[in-house]
Chain A
């Protein structure tokens, strides 16, 4: 070790020795190996996060010019906005409902896909489609299917005699629109969740089930006492990744209602975008971003704990 650090000074020696010492860099430990990754993390994670924090305490003019430090006034304006409590509550409902319903349906789908039946491969492939399609595209398709004047859904319901007026503006009424947004969010979350749970199901050894059957366990019993406990790691990972995705979800709401009318179908994510690009208040938007970022951080920490727990 000490010799190695001395070698660079020795290179001034004109004559190579019998076994030339390999010219060595100062001992940097693992730094050369993780350096590029570190640089990448600093460049694309830490620096933007720092800029976000900095912006949230700056006064930014409408034209985009930084006018200097302003303390917590961006946060004061953010929390003083009478619309914010509604947006926060809606975000909570959005995450809880979408994630829990997604998990519930996915459990059923995963069990179905785990069972042997003719055409299983086809069904497995079909389930990938909503996942493979761009979310913006899916949301746009639903936006037009639900359109008040041209939507196919109105047409079908009208022809079935379920609604009496042909014009039925599903996405214009904030109460109804929010349910449709959640429906589409669940629809696009199902494939990923189902596949995570399916992988979980397939990792459960078959002999446990056989042993249980020998001991006289019914199907319901083995599901309750074998499948669910052994599926727990997959369930936790699926819920947390879904929570992060759904919380951050922007395209569904943006493509279908733009958070409107007013802010009545906004979540904190679309609200953040509107603050910056419609109200031209970049400072307040950065404050909202800091709040969102903290929430995500909590989710990520939860995720890391879960992953550790899995390894142990």
Chain B
């Protein structure tokens, strides 16, 4: 009888399941006074599959751990920062969060350390490079949940029609642009999305190809000579008609991806999830290829690695720590973690074990191959969240005719130094 009822609760989700489980615990053999710990997680909406994934995961977890109640709220990327910071500001942080930065929270001494939020076996299984990026002030406060890196995408038909090979250096980019402009009017040779959506990535890819960075380990260097040169090079591309007009108001998804999917863009900086978008969102039949990012002449090609994080918020008496640790470790059990990656869609795994099983995937192989040359955002800096916002908001102004590019970069750098 109990089993039948327990089975039935599986059909319900969310709060209904919680309520039913609570009733069961009372009606069943649960000893009076058994402590129930409730924890809440705010997770990022990589795809629409995330909420169903977490509902199922939480239900299975609670079946194994009747003394822990887990609620997972999946929030889309446009609102998740606000949701988390509002919760903190009102004194009600979630127990677990899943975001693309963590250092600001560590700086405010709000977080458990990594070894407190996952068990030893899980921690040991995480890829070392990602763990190194999860430290603030030398202490590991977060665990990587997944990662992505990026490659240069090109439309094979357009490059073939221009009779050129994919470029590997900046001067070849110009040559390829010119060849496309000469042969195929109406085609945008290179999409350059410097609009607010993802400008911090687009700019770092080009700056990195010239040896530039945002943070050199000690100081903010958004306004470095390398970065300025990169901006000036991009301006030359804009001026020669290689890109769409007004890069500063051109966004990645609504602009670059959409046009590439329509087959009117020759090349763009794409991410590991672009092929999935092309297939599912745009139902595009563009024949694309990938190659490492072109670098400035004489410089090394880089890729941009991006990793996101899980981290746990301390409560007053530390009573949520054990539940957080159990739940996150449960998530990292290989079969659960594989389902997580599948729900998130087309990302690189953060664990060694999952990486081994996925390295045979022919689609992922080129992305895994360039990973050693990855540069990352300075997400271990508390000011990174603000600097990222400043880049997204302001870098586009550098492409307005007559703009003082150095002043734009100085203004962004000041945001980092000021915090």
Contacts and interface: CB of A to CB of B under 8 A. Distances in A.
Interface of A: 60-66, 77, 82-83, 148-149, 166-167, 169, 171-174, 177, 257-264, 274, 277-282
Nearest to A144: B254
B245 A277 contact: no
A262 B110 CA distance: 33
12 contacts: A61-B108, A63-B104, A63-B105, A64-B89, A169-B245, A172-B250, A177-B249, A258-B196, A261-B396, A261-B399, A274-B393, A279-B390
A83 B382 CA distance: 24
A280 B246 contact: no
A61 B400 contact: no
Contacts of B85: 62-64, 280, 282
Contact of B245 (A62, A172, A264, A279): A172
Interface string B196-226: 1000000000000000000000000000000
Contact of A262 (B186, B383, B397): B397
Interface stretch (B18-26, B286-294, B407-415): B407-415
Given A61-B104, A62-B383, A64-B88, A169 B244 contact: yes
Contact of B400 (A167, A174, A258, A281): A174
Contact of A264 (B195, B390, B397, B411): B397
- The 9 lowest CB-CB distance pairs between A and B, nearest first, are A262-B397, A172-B246, A261-B248, A64-B85, A261-B396, A278-B389, A62-B104, A64-B89, A172-B249
B259 interface: yes
B397 A279 contact: no
A171 B396 CA distance: 13
A281 B248 contact: no
Given A63-B88, A65-B108, A280-B81, A260 B393 contact: yes
A225 B396 CA distance: 52
Given A177-B249, A261-B248, A262-B400, 10 more contacts: A61-B107, A62-B107, A62-B419, A65-B88, A171-B249, A258-B195, A261-B399, A262-B393, A262-B408, A278-B389
Contacts of B392: 278
Interface extent on B, as a size class? 35 or more
Contacts of A65: 88-89, 108, 110
Contacts of A149: 244, 255, 259, 264
B82 interface: yes
B14 interface: no
B394 A263 contact: yes
A237 to B, nearest CB: 36
Contacts of A166: 186
A257 B393 CA distance: 11
Most chain A CB within 10 A, of B108, B244, B393, B394, is at B393
Contacts of A83: 411
Nearest to B408: A262
B230 to A, nearest CB: 17
B36 interface: no
Most chain A CB within 10 A, of B84, B85, B195, is at B85
Contact of A261 (B249, B264, B389): B249
B183 interface: no
B389 A264 contact: no
Contacts of A62: 85, 104, 107, 382-383, 385-386, 419
B372 interface: no
A261 B104 contact: no
B28 interface: no
A153 to B, nearest CB: 15
Nearest to A147: B254
Given A62-B385, A278-B392, A169 B246 contact: yes
A261 B108 contact: no
Interface in B387-405: 389-390, 392-400
B386 A262 contact: no
B400 A261 contact: yes
Contacts of A173: 245-246, 400
Nearest to B387: A279
Given A167-B244, A169-B249, A261-B249, A60 B89 contact: yes
A64 B86 contact: yes
A263 B107 contact: no
Contact of A148 (B186, B244, B407, B419): B244
B418 interface: yes
Most chain A CB within 10 A, of B110, B392, B394, B407, is at B394
Nearest to A281: B386
B393 A277 contact: no
Contacts of A274: 389, 393
Contacts of B383: 62
Contacts of B397: 260-264
A262 B407 CA distance: 12
A66 B397 CA distance: 32
Contacts of A282: 85, 89
A172 B386 contact: no
A79 to B, nearest CB: 14
Contact of A66 (B89, B104, B194, B408): B89
Given A61-B104, A66-B89, A83-B411, A280 B386 contact: yes
B400 to A, nearest CB: 6
Contacts of B385: 62, 280
Contacts of B382: 61-62
Nearest to B82: A277
